[in-house]
């Protein structure tokens, strides 16, 4: 099958999934709002006490719906991963997560205030009575505490002070929070019980979300690890702070991983092995071995230099849409910064292209990674490699400090036909955003810019 035929078949399928998923998202919100209105929600807004309770019910419904949706988005469903890509799902998940959390808090305040007959001084006593007397309210309170922990550690300022490993572990409390916060509504909520359709919707949504998490976040990783049994074969220092880890295992030709994707890795037999780290493949998978290349940024990545051959490895994935699946054109431009060139180097090996159809722009300081391997790809495959040495400019440009022109002019000079290509970008989030802005200004449509950001 040619690359052009593969592209033609995948684009409508992925676009269809995006349309259905987006339509289902908004349809769910409209549906629960309709049930609230049909149950007298609008009429109840006319009174102070009833209005508070009614607004509390509506915020609870919308917050519950969004809470389940955001868990479903991050359940690693392959159909969503392929259609949207991990970066887009994470971005939407962040917005939906903060929105659902605010709605859940508003529900808690409004419903308690309404049950206290609109008397603000009676809210503490009413809150205590609701917590101790109503079914599953203690579970809901514990779930809300877990959600608070998850949201607080997701605020950018707080998140920047945490190691990735610690943040990831704390973020898992979001699943526990959703699991504890929702049962009281399923058992006692008015809008959940007024009709068979509403009851079926809520129980169905909760069940689908729970099954998705159990299958794709728990069951599938266990199955794949038992099947492939990855082990480290060697660890090679690329420079002072970057190492490549080579791995092998059983039946790797059956592992559905593509060049450009990343996986969550846990190297056994070392401190902190329970906390997974996301690292991209730096070589196209060949069915016999895998390779990742990692810069020492945190405790997990720094300790990889000391990993011994034979070390067992647990993994989760693969994830990401920075692959040939996102491709829409024969011509591609690969733009990477530092160790962000790793998945792009894998793509340069794994993509189908002819001489001149693929160009790699590599911004780096110090010694470039994979220089010898990229020279081989240039000779044998016709890859054009453009090195951009130097430290990144303080102005927010994606260029190195040795380039005397602005972002847009440089991009158009280096890749004159950039507007006719797919653009794959990998690097730190602010840098990747500056590349995206330059590409858009050069005429590349947003849907042909495929970004994977390093956020840690």
Phi/psi for 421 (5° steps) reads -115, 160
H/E element holding 231? Answer: strand 230-239
Predicted confidence (pLDDT) at residue 11 exceeds the cutoff of 80:
no
- Output the DSSP codes for 64-127: HHHHHHHHHHTS--HHHHHHH-HHHHHHHHHHHHHHHHHHHHHHHHHHHHHHTTT-GGGHHHHH
- The predicted model gives 139-149 an average pLDDT of 67
- Distance (Å, whole) CA 108 – CA 247: 50
Q: Which CATH code of 3.50.50.60, 1.20.210.10, 1.10.150.120, 3.40.50.80 fits the domain covering 324-454?
A: 3.40.50.80
The distance between the two most distant Cα atoms of the chain, rounded to a whole number of Å, is 78
pLDDT tens-digit series, residues 282-337: 999 999 999 999 987 655 566 788 889 999 999 998 988 889 988 888 999 999 98
pLDDT at 320: 86
Q: Could you give the dihedral angle defined by the CA atoms of residues 70, 71, 72 and 78, in that order, rounded to the nearest 10 degrees?
A: 110
Please tell me the class of the 229-319 domain: mainly beta
pLDDT at 442: 94
Q: Per-domain residue ranges for the chain? A: 3-223, 229-319, 324-454
CB 42 within 8 A of CB 149: no
pLDDT at 121: 79
Cβ-based burial of 240 (10 A; exposed 0-12, middle 13-18, buried ≥19):
exposed
The pTM of the whole model exceeds 0.85: no
Residues 6+ apart with CB under 8 A from 164: 277, 298, 300, 456
Look at residues 327, 325, 384, 324 and name the one whose alpha carbon lies nearest to residue 357: 384
Q: Is 338 left (phi over 0), alpha (psi -120 to 50) or beta?
A: left
Predicted confidence (pLDDT) at residue 456 exceeds the cutoff of 50:
no
């Amino acid at each position: 099958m040619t690359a052009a035929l593969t592209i033609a078949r995948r684009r409508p399928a992925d676009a269809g999934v995006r349309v259905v998923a987006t339509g289902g998202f908004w349809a769910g919100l409209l549906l629960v709002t309709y049930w609230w209105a049909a149950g007298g929600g609008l009429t109840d807004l006319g009174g102070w006490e009833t209005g508070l309770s009614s607004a509390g019910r509506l915020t609870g419904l919308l917050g519950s719906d969004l809470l389940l949706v955001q868990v479903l988005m991050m359940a690693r469903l392959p159909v969503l991963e392929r259609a949207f890509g991990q970066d887009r799902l994470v971005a939407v998940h962040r917005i939906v997560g903060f929105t659902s959390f605010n709605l859940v808090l508003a529900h808690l305040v409004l419903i308690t205030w309404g049950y206290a007959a609109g008397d603000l001084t009676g809210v503490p006593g009413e809150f205590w009575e609701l917590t101790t007397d109503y079914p599953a309210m203690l579970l809901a309170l514990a779930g809300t505490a877990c959600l608070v922990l998850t949201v607080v550690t997701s605020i950018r300022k707080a998140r920047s002070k945490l190691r990735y490993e610690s943040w990831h572990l704390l973020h898992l409390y979001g699943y526990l929070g959703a699991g504890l916060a929702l049962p009281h509504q399923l058992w006692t909520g008015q809008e959940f019980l007024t009709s068979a359709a509403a009851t079926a919707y809520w129980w169905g949504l909760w069940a689908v979300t729970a099954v998705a998490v159990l299958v794709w976040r728990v069951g599938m990783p266990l199955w794949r690890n038992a099947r492939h049994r990855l082990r480290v074969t060697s660890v090679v220092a690329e420079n002072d702070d970057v190492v490549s880890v080579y791995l092998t295992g059983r039946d790797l030709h059956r592992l559905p991983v593509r060049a450009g994707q990343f996986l969550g890795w846990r190297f056994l037999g070392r401190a902190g092995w329970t906390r997974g780290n996301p690292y991209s493949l730096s070589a196209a998978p060949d069915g016999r071995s895998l390779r990742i290349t990692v810069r020492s940024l945190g405790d997990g990545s720094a300790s990889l230099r000391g990993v011994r051959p034979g070390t067992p490895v647990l993994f989760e994935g693969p994830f990401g849409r920075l692959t040939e699946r996102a491709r829409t054109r024969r011509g591609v431009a690969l733009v990477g910064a530092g160790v962000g060139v790793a998945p792009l180097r894998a793509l340069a090996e794994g993509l189908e292209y002819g001489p001149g159809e693929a160009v790699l722009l590599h911004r780096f300081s110090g010694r470039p990674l994979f220089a010898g391997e990229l020279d081989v790809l240039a000779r044998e495959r016709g890859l054009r490699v453009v090195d951009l040495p130097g430290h990144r400019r303080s102005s927010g440009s994606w260029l190195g400090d040795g380039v005397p022109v602005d972002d847009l002019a440089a991009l158009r000079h280096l890749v004159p036909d950039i507007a006719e290509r797919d653009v794959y970008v990998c690097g730190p989030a602010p840098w990747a955003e500056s590349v995206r802005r330059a590409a858009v200004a050069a005429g590349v449509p947003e849907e042909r810019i495929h970004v994977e950001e390093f956020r840690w």
